[in-house]
């Protein structure tokens, strides 16, 4: 028994982990050298002050609550908090603790995870930086799209309208034209009208200003109806959410994801029905695009530009995109964004 206690004592002192024994009164009863070396205090300083006094102010309340849980019999696993070292700097510790009721002591082992926390903080900082750049580029692209759409609508559509007016004028003012000429005039008028409608449709596709004017729900309702008319595929939109919860950036990205999904359905799915829905779920908004087409194996299409584009857009708004599809069973694409 004495030999075993000696081995335990040797381990207590030699392990690089921080090992301590604390009483119910909130004071250290015993600490190993790693605790002294890590925090920079002498043994007397560590034993003479409440443990709480070494904990970083912002972490004191959660540390107190965890201590209450331990004393009530709940083992503490991987609990992280910050301690203030003697030189004023902070150290992150990850604790595993257990309470021995018979002896009324808490046995705790901690690892210094400061380096890991700093690395995580640096990664998070870089992520926010690149996310900011991505948002900047997205905003810039949307502005360019808006300008191009405006030019198409204001310039080309108006020019096409003038051509149509002139063609119609000739048909009205020149009654003596040959039948062949009249047919050509009628044909030119129809083509001019088709050109105007095509320019308007492309303008909407490039920059859906309707989102800013009427909102995402109205835009998706319009887009669904247009998709049905142009492609002969039944497409419905259901709205079960509060649009006020979504900032403009997310509305635009939801619309772009729908655009890409509908384009894939149009060219690849051989579907008869499509359903787009927006729902409130788990404190966020869920976008769903479902079709009854031929489906596919998602793992075989990951490199496709359309799917990559949707994933990138979802990631840029901290959204989670999932694709559920099987050959012969259609496809369901969802994007979930927390509010």
What pLDDT is stored for residue 55 in this prediction?
96
Identify the weakest region by mean pLDDT among 47-51, 55-59, 210-214. Answer: 210-214
What pLDDT is stored for residue 3 in this prediction?
47
Q: Residue 34: enclosing H or E segment and its boundaries?
A: helix 33-39
* Selection from 4, 39, 1, 3 nearest residue 20 by Cα: 39
Model-wide pTM > 0.75: no
Q: pLDDT category, 285, cuts 50, 70, 90?
A: very high
The string of pLDDT tens digits covering residues 2-16 is 443 444 566 566 678
- Residue 108 confidence (pLDDT) above 80: yes
Question: Residue 84: which residues within 8 A CB-CB, separation 6 or more?
Answer: 54, 55, 56, 90
| Percentage of the chain lying above the pLDDT 90 cut | 49
- Cβ-count burial of 121 within 10 angstroms (0-12 exposed, 13-18 middle, 19+ buried)? exposed
Question: How far is CA 281 from each of CA 150, 274, 276, 285, 336, rounded to the nearest angstrom?
Answer: 36, 21, 16, 6, 8
**Residue 58 or residue 200, greater confidence:** 58
Most confident stretch, 62-66, 100-104, 172-176: 62-66
Identify the weakest region by mean pLDDT among 107-116, 148-157, 225-234. Answer: 148-157
Identify the weakest region by mean pLDDT among 15-19, 269-273, 285-289. Answer: 15-19
CB 109 within 8 A of CB 17: yes
The string of pLDDT tens digits covering residues 180-218 is 888 888 888 888 888 877 776 676 666 566 787 788 998
Strand pairing class (234-240; 105-112): unpaired
CB 178 within 8 A of CB 200: no
CB 273 within 8 A of CB 233: yes
The arithmetic mean of pLDDT across residues 70-80, rounded, is: 93
Identify the weakest region by mean pLDDT among 91-95, 127-131, 259-263, 274-278. Answer: 127-131
CB 39 within 8 A of CB 131: no
What pLDDT is stored for residue 140 in this prediction?
64
CA atoms of 115 and 82, how far apart (whole Å): 13
**3-state secondary structure at position 74:** coil
**3-state secondary structure at position 302:** coil
* Selection from 309, 201, 339, 224 nearest residue 274 by Cα: 224
Q: pLDDT category, 337, cuts 50, 70, 90?
A: very high
Cα-Cα-Cα-Cα dihedral sign, residues 183, 184, 188, 189:
negative
Q: For residue 39, how many C-alpha atoms fall within 13 Å in the half-sphere facing its CB?
A: 27
């Amino acid at each position: 028994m004495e030999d075993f206690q000696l081995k335990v004592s040797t381990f207590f002192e030699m392990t690089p982990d921080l090992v301590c024994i604390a009483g119910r009164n909130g004071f250290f009863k015993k600490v190993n050298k790693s605790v002294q070396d890590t925090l920079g205090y002498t043994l007397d300083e560590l034993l003479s002050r409440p443990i709480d006094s070494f904990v970083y102010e912002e972490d004191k309340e959660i540390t107190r609550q965890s201590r209450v849980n331990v004393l009530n019999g709940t083992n503490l696993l991987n609990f992280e908090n910050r301690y203030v070292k003697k030189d004023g700097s902070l150290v992150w510790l990850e604790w595993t603790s257990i309470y021995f009721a018979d002896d009324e002591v808490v046995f705790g082992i901690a690892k210094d995870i400061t380096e890991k926390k700093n690395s995580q903080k640096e990664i998070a900082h870089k992520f926010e930086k690149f996310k900011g750049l991505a948002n900047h580029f997205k905003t810039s692209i949307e502005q360019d799209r808006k300008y191009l759409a405006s030019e198409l609508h204001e310039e080309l559509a108006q020019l096409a309208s003038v051509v149509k007016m002139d063609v119609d004028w000739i048909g009205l003012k020149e009654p003596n034209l040959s039948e062949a000429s009249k047919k050509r005039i009628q044909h030119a008028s129809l083509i001019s009208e088709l050109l105007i409608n095509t320019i308007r449709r492309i303008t909407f596709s490039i920059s859906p200003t309707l989102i800013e004017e009427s909102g995402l729900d109205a835009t998706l309702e319009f887009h669904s109806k247009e998709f049905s008319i142009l492609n002969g595929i039944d497409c419905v939109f259901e709205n079960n959410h509060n649009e006020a919860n979504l900032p403009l950036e997310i509305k635009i990205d939801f619309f772009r994801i729908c655009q890409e999904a509908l384009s894939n359905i149009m060219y690849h799915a051989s579907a008869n029905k499509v359903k787009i829905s927006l729902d409130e779920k788990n404190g966020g908004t869920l976008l769903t695009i479902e079709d009854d087409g031929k489906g596919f194996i998602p793992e075989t299409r990951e490199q496709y530009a359309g799917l990559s584009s949707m994933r990138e857009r979802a990631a840029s708004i901290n959204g989670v995109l999932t694709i559920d599809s099987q050959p012969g069973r259609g496809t369901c694409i969802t994007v979930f964004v927390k509010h």
